[in-house]
Structure 1
C-alpha cells in the first residue's frame, strides 16, 4: 500500500466518520477500487478511525475536562452523562466482540455495503419526516439522556456493525427517536465515538496489527492515514453541526440511496 493510497483513505475517513454516510462503507468501497484485498488493508480501514477519535477529543477537550472534573467532584449532571455514554457503548462493543470475524468475512464487500447504504438512507429520511410531523425541537441537554434512552441509542448504534449502516447515523437516529434534538443527538454521538471507535481500533490492532505492521509500507500507511484523518475530521465536525441545524439529515439519506444504487449497478457489471 502506497502513501498516496493512505492519504486517500485518510481524507475519506475524516470526511465521512461523523457524517451519517458510513466511513467504513466508503473505505471498503475505495479499498476495493484500489485493489486492497489483504488482511493488512482491511485492518487499516478500521485502525485509521483512531485519527477521527483524536479529532473528537481535540474538538471537545473543554467539555471532556469539565466532565472529568464533574465526575471527580461527584456532580450529578456529569455522572449522568458519563453513565449514559457507558451504557450506550456496551451493546455495540458486546456484539462486535462476538461477531467480529463473521462481520469481516461476510460484510466487508461492495454489495453488502451498498444494501446498507440504501436501507440506512430510507430509514434516515423516514425518521426525519417523523420528527417534522412531531413539530418538537426535542431535549437539548445531554444530562437528559437517561439510562433507558442511552440503552436505546446504544442498541441503535449496534446496526453500524453492518458496514455501510453508519455509526453516526445509527446513534443520531437513536437519539432523535428517544426525544433528543438533532444537535444534541449529534453531540452525544460524537462523544460516544470516543469509547466505541477507540475500542474497535484497539481490538483490531491486537487481532491483526501484526499483519498491518509487517506489510510492505504498512507502518508508513498507518502514520500518514492517521494524521490525514485527524486533520480532516477536525475540520468536518464543526461544519457538520452547523449544517444539521439548518438542513437536517434528509440530504444525506438521498445521497446514500443514490450511492448504494450506483454501487449495485457497477458491482453487477463486474
Structure 2
C-alpha cells in the first residue's frame, strides 16, 4: 500500500466526484477530464498521474469506483428499459424470426461492446500507459472534438 502522502485527501475526493458527476452525462470524456484535471491543477494533484497505472494508485481506484457508481446509477435509473431489453435478448434466442426493435437494439449493444471489451483486455497495459499521459489524453479529446 502507498504511504499516507500518496492518498487522496477528502477535498481531492470531493472535487473528483463533482467533476465525474458533471462530466459523465455530457458528451465529453469524464475519464479524460479525470486525467487532465490533476495536470491542470498541478501541485499535490499531479502526483496522481505518476502512479496512475499502478494497481495501488488511490486516484485510479477512485476513478474506477466513480465510473462503476455512475454505471450502476444509470442502470437503476433506466431499469425498466433494461428489463425490456434483457427480456428481448432471451426472446430473440428462443424464436427463429425477424427481430423486433428492442431485440435488434440489444443485439447491437452486445455486438458493439464485445470488440471493445476484447481489445481493452488484450491491450490493457498499453492503453493504461497511454491514457495516463495528459498530453495524449488532450490530443485524443481534441481529435474527438474535430470528428
Determine which of 107, 111, 116 is the counterpart of 1:83.
Answer: 107
Higher helix proportion (structure 1 or 2): 1
Cα RMSD, aligned residues only: 2.0
Conserved in 2, the CA contact under 8 Å of 1:28 and 1:45?
Answer: no
Q: Residues 31 and 47 (structure 1 numbering): CA distance in 2 closer, same or farther, change over 3 Å?
A: farther
Question: How far off is 1:73 after superposition?
Answer: 4.4
Map 1:177-256 to 2 at 5 A: none
State how far apart, in whole Å, the 2-side matches of 1:17 and 1:71 are. Answer: 27
Question: How far off is 1:22 after superposition?
Answer: 0.8
Question: How far off is 1:15 after superposition?
Answer: 1.6
Work out the number of aligned pairs and report it.
Answer: 123
- Tell me what 1:118 maps to: 142
Conserved in 2, the CA contact under 8 Å of 1:12 and 1:23?
Answer: yes
Query: Which has the higher Rg, Structure 1 or Structure 2?
Result: 2
State how far apart, in whole Å, the 1-side matches of 2:130 and 2:61 are. Answer: 15
SS at match of 2:123: helix
Conserved in 1, the CA contact under 8 Å of 2:36 and 2:138?
Answer: no
Determine which of 28, 31, 45 is the counterpart of 2:35.
Answer: 28
State whether structure 2 residue 81 is matched by structure 1 residue 63: yes
State how far apart, in whole Å, the 2-side matches of 1:6 and 1:24 are. Answer: 15
Q: Residues 95 and 29 (structure 1 numbering): CA distance in 2 closer, same or farther, change over 3 Å?
A: same
- TM-score norm. by structure 1 comes to 0.42
Conserved in 2, the CA contact under 8 Å of 1:57 and 1:64?
Answer: yes
Unaligned runs of 5+ in 2: 1-7
- Tell me what 1:54 maps to: 72
Determine which of 9, 25, 28 is the counterpart of 2:16.
Answer: 9
- TM-score norm. by structure 2 comes to 0.72
Greater relative contact order (Cα 8 A, min sep 6): structure 1 or 2?
Answer: 1
Map 1:84-163 to 2 at 5 A: 84-123=108-147
Q: Residues 68 and 104 (structure 1 numbering): CA distance in 2 closer, same or farther, change over 3 Å?
A: closer
State how far apart, in whole Å, the 1-side matches of 2:74 and 2:9 are. Answer: 27
SS at match of 1:21: coil
